[in-house]
Each structure stands twice: as structure tokens, then as C-alpha cells.
Amino acid sequence: MEPRGIFSMAVPAEVLAAALAEDGGRRSRPGAVPDYMYCFTVDGRRMLYDVKRISLCPSRYWPTVAVASSRGGPLEHRASLVRAEYEAAAAALDARTAAWYIRTGTAAPVGAPTAVDILASFPPVRGLVFGSTACGGSREVGILLAQAASSSAQRQWRSLGARSMLDARSFMISTLRSQVGFAAAVAHARLRLSRLELIGGSGRTAGRYASAARAFISPTAFEQARGGALGAGGGRVGFAGGGLF
């Protein structure tokens, strides 16, 4: 579930609209709003996630020797920055909100939470980071897939014909890993292809024309045969390095 209205009690709609306008319309929501919310059925916790992809460049893959030398180091390094980014973005929304109340002469609702308060009511936002190959994702990707597989196996292991819930869970984890890894690789390739004709333009120019370019990118053979990047299977490609799941 995408938590689009997570800050609706703290930030007026006008402030959110202004934040989107200043971003050049490249996003469907401000950067402080996470990409995904998942409720764990075991203990009822609601977790917030942000999906990231890093490019094969020195600033992401070789920021330090320790990061570059460890397995999945670049992905974990990027994931470790997500929490602070969201805290800063929530504080920026609160500053915008306070300035809007002053500018319009409107009194802030008594007892209304701030964006920082709402964000703090959840566990820290987790980063789901994928690299430039189809070799997996960050550690949180593996944890999320394991939780999803456990929940699904608990409900469906008999209907799947498995001997036990553990057998069904193992099968589901393997399937989810291959599907997600392949989907991330396809999404990365599509993004690169959609940007080929925009080389040399500014970032905002690319953002305005990227949606038009997507329509001319034909689906992969896998998508045509299986009904989408997550249709019915997949596989890992690329070199053997990369992720942790």
C-alpha cells in the first residue's frame, strides 16, 4: 500500500501542492512520503519503505574502501541514508506549513501533529535498494520478501500441495527473489533506454519528457510471454556480485 495521505493531518493540501510544483512535477508526491507501507501479520507492525536504485558510479559504489570491499556494501550504504533523508524532508514540510500559516494568517489547529511527529510514530523508514545489475537488493529487501513468503505460506501451503509450511515458504522465497531481481533489472534497463535521447539536457528537462519516451519502449520478450515483469518467473542476470537477499 502506498501511504499517500500519511501527512494529511499535519500538512495542508496547499502546502503539498506547492512542494510538488517546486519539484517540477517530476513526482506524484513530495519526497517525504514513503513509497510503500506494509503491515506484518505476525505482530501488527506497520513498516514504511522507500525504494531506491543506485547507478554504477564512484559516488555510490566506491564512496569508501570499506563500502566497496564488502558484499552488498554500496546497497547497504545507500539504505543507511534513507532514515535521515526522510527526517529532514518531514522537518522541511513542517517549516513550509508554519510559513504557510503565517502567510495566510491562519491559526494552526490546536493539538494537530506535525509531520515529524507522524513520521516518528512509525518505525524508521527502511530503504529497499537495488543496484545496476539483477543480483539482488539490500538486506531489507530480503527481510521483506521473507516476511511476505512466511505470511503467504501460512495461508496457502496446503492448497499449493506442499508437504509442510516450511517447504512452501522455501519455494516462495526462491520465486520472489528471482522475480524481484529480474523486475529490478528490467526497470533499470527501461530507465536507461528512456533517457538515451535526453543526454545533454538538464535534470528537469529529462523529467518533463521522460513520460513521453516511455511509450515508445517496447515490452521485453519476457513481459510479452508472461504478462509483466513479475508475471510468472524470471531469473538473475549480470555478474555475480551485488545484493544480500
DSSP string covering 92-104, please? HHHHHHHHHHHHH
Per-residue pLDDT, 23: 58
Instruction: Give 57-105 pLDDT, tens digit per residue.
Output: 888 888 888 888 888 888 999 999 999 999 998 898 899 999 999 988 8
Instruction: Give 191-209 pLDDT, tens digit per residue.
Output: 778 777 666 655 555 555 5
Do residues 108 and 8 share a domain?
yes
Per-residue pLDDT, 234: 34
- Strand 36-39 to strand 46-53: parallel, antiparallel, or no bridges (unpaired)? antiparallel
Per-residue pLDDT, 76: 92
- Strand 46-53 to strand 126-130: parallel, antiparallel, or no bridges (unpaired)? parallel
Q: Which of 72, 99, 132 is the last residue of a domain?
A: 132
Residue 151 within any structural domain of the chain = yes
Instruction: Give the model's confidence band at 167: pLDDT under 50 very low, under 70 low, under 90 confident, else very high.
Output: very high
Instruction: Give 146-163 pLDDT, tens digit per residue.
Output: 988 988 888 888 888 888
Do residues 97 and 162 share a domain?
no
What's the mean pLDDT in 182-191? Answer: 82
Do residues 200 and 234 share a domain?
yes
Q: Which of 132, 156, 181 is the last residue of a domain?
A: 132
Per-residue pLDDT, 193: 80
Distance (Å, whole) CA 72 – CA 235 = 19
Residue 147 within any structural domain of the chain = yes
Do residues 151 and 113 share a domain?
no
Q: Which of 132, 151, 167 is the last residue of a domain?
A: 132
Do residues 175 and 124 share a domain?
no
Do residues 45 and 23 share a domain?
yes
Do residues 151 and 194 share a domain?
yes
Do residues 102 and 205 share a domain?
no
Domain carrying residue 151: 137-240
Per-residue pLDDT, 160: 85
Overall domain count for the chain:
2
Do residues 128 and 147 share a domain?
no
- Angle 203-214/165-194 helices, nearest 10 degrees? 110
Enter the pTM of the model.
Answer: 0.70
What value does the mean pLDDT of the chain take? 76
Do residues 126 and 11 share a domain?
yes
Residue 152 within any structural domain of the chain = yes
Residue 245 within any structural domain of the chain = no
What would the DSSP string read from start to end of the chain?
Answer: ---TTTTTTTS-HHHHHHHHHHTTT--SS-TTS-SEEEE-TTT--EEEEEEEE--SSHHHH-SSHHHHHSTTHHHHHHHHTHHHHHHHHHHHHHHHHHHHHHHHTPPPPTTPPPHHHHHHTSPPPEEEEE-SSSS-B-HHHHHHHHHHHHHHHHHHTTTTT-SSHHHHHHHHHHHHHHHHHHHHHHHHHHHHHHTGGGTTS-HHHHHHHHHHHHTTSPPPHHHHHHTSTTSS-----S-S-----
Residue 11 within any structural domain of the chain = yes
CB-based contact 17:31 (threshold 8 Å)? no
Per-residue pLDDT, 221: 46
Per-residue pLDDT, 79: 92
Whether the per-residue pLDDT at 218 is higher than 70: the answer is no
Do residues 122 and 32 share a domain?
yes
Distance (Å, whole) CA 75 – CA 128 = 9
Do residues 121 and 193 share a domain?
no
Q: How far is CA 218 from the centre of its chain?
A: 24
